[in-house]
Amino acid sequence: MTDKATGAESNVPLKNPGPEVLSPTARLLEKRSLDIVNCINTRTFEVLFKYAAPAFIDSRPLAPGETASHDASDAVGYMRELAVNQPGLRVDVLSTLVDINEEQKWGTVWINILRTGTPDGTKMENVLRFRWRQTRNGWECVKHTERSQYHHFIPQFLLRNFAQDRSQNARNISGRRPRKDGSLRFISTKDGDLSSGPLSRHYGLKYMYRDIYATEQHGLEKKFSYLEGQAAEIIRKAKTTFLQPDATLTLTRTEKDTLRKFLFLMKYRNTSFGSRFDVPTINEYTTADKGKMAGYMRVRGFQTPRAVWLANMHTFLDITIDPRRTWHAEVRR
């Protein structure tokens, strides 16, 4: 969450406001969005026609960088085909979030879902977004999108220090306004070209930390968010201090240890380690420690090197670094 007065990152997590504080319009749009989601379970796909605007767009991600857009009829046809190919498919709602602008007659409903019953037995967590607009015919759904989880290995609070102007009057070469999060200029390591792009879509990968076998597939990302919030406060303290002439920065031991953990995990979670561990079995693992890795996986019951990588990050995020160094034994368990 961002503090509107200072632009600073806050450690306060966003929470679902809950039905008791939602306005009548918010409750209405939340219910209708949930009706559309639940049609996967009830196989009553025609409910989409009841709420969709004539110009409704269903936008679904395909390969990286590709999106398929369909009207309501195509969307219903797609869901019917999906039900035939995956008869056990079920969608469970984990949480919802509603944002209403009564003055501009727009509304957005985000629904965090968990898909189960796929042919390969995997579970998948996604965020669906339903965009609503008030017309003469009442509130109509104008767009549905499926949001993929983009995980940054360089936190956005650091990248913002290098972002270009984010003012409302700035425009890019095409004449369009830039994204609110600003853009970055960078040199490609492949061809040496100077390019630019949105801050929120660089120095990260889709689903980099997702664990499809975990109850909470994005639990690791939430832990990283908490640590990044702590590190951001310390780094902001350092920046403010060094703006003063002849200033001296004083950190507590806890702050220093937080930075140690943060910097270590910045390296351990990057793409080099990610690609090293991202292999289906130990047979495809090619690093020099393959023998030790195989033995460790056998003793600890890990099925893939990636599972070891994810578990290690969970361990480092969960431990508390203490002066007596009891955390050393905790890491080795």
Query: What length is written for the chain?
Result: 333
CA pair distance 149, 162, nearest whole angstrom? 23
CA pair distance 255, 321, nearest whole angstrom? 10
CA pair distance 146, 62, nearest whole angstrom? 10
More confident residue, 173 or 190: 190
C-alpha 16, offset from chain centre: 17
CA pair distance 62, 60, nearest whole angstrom? 7
* Residues ≥6 apart with Cβ < 8 Å to 157: 9, 228, 232, 235
**Which pLDDT score, from 0 to 100, does residue 30 have?**
93
CA pair distance 141, 33, nearest whole angstrom? 9
The mean pLDDT value for 302-318 works out to 88
Categorize the per-residue pLDDT at 201 as very low, low, confident or very high, splitting at 50, 70 and 90.
low
CB–CB of 287/293 below 8 Å?
yes
Helix/strand/coil (H/E/C) assignment for every residue in the chain: CECCCCCCECCCCCCCCCHHHCCHHHHHHHHHHHHHHHHHHHCCCCHHHHHEEEEEEEEEECCCCCEEEECHHHHHHHHHHHHHHCCCCEEEEEEEEEEEECCCCEEEEEEEEEEECCCCCCCEEEEEEEEEEEECCEEEEEEEEEECCEEECCCHHHHHHHCCCCCCCCCCCCCCCCCCCCEEEEECCCCCCEEEEEHHHCCEEECCCCCCCCCCCCHHHHHHHHHHHHHHHHHHHHHHHHCCCCCCCCCCHHHHHHHHHHHHHHHHCCHHHHHHHCCCCHHHCCCCCHHHHHHHHHHHCCCCHHHHHHHHHHHHHHCCCCCCCCHHHHHHC
CB–CB of 311/319 below 8 Å?
no
Amino acid identity at 35: D
The mean pLDDT value for 202-218 works out to 59
pLDDT digits (tens, 9 = 90+) for 72-90: 888 888 888 888 888 888 9
Could you give the C-alpha distances from 107 to 14, 19, 101, 126, 140, in angstroms and in order?
A: 18, 16, 6, 20, 10
The mean pLDDT value for 233-251 works out to 89
How many percent of the chain have pLDDT more than 70? 75
Listed by start position, the domains of the chain span 19-148, 151-206, 219-332
The mean pLDDT value for 4-16 works out to 36
**Which pLDDT score, from 0 to 100, does residue 4 have?**
35
**Which pLDDT score, from 0 to 100, does residue 138 have?**
92
**Which pLDDT score, from 0 to 100, does residue 126 have?**
75
**Which pLDDT score, from 0 to 100, does residue 20 have?**
43
More confident residue, 22 or 256: 256
What CATH number is given for 19-148 in this structure? 3.10.450.50
Helices 72-85, 24-42: inter-axial angle, 10-degree rounding: 40
CA pair distance 204, 155, nearest whole angstrom? 9
The mean pLDDT value for 257-263 works out to 91
The mean pLDDT value for 56-83 works out to 72
CB–CB of 316/327 below 8 Å?
no
Mean pLDDT of the chain: 77
Token pair listed for 259:
């930075």
- The residue written with tokens 């070891």 in the block is 308
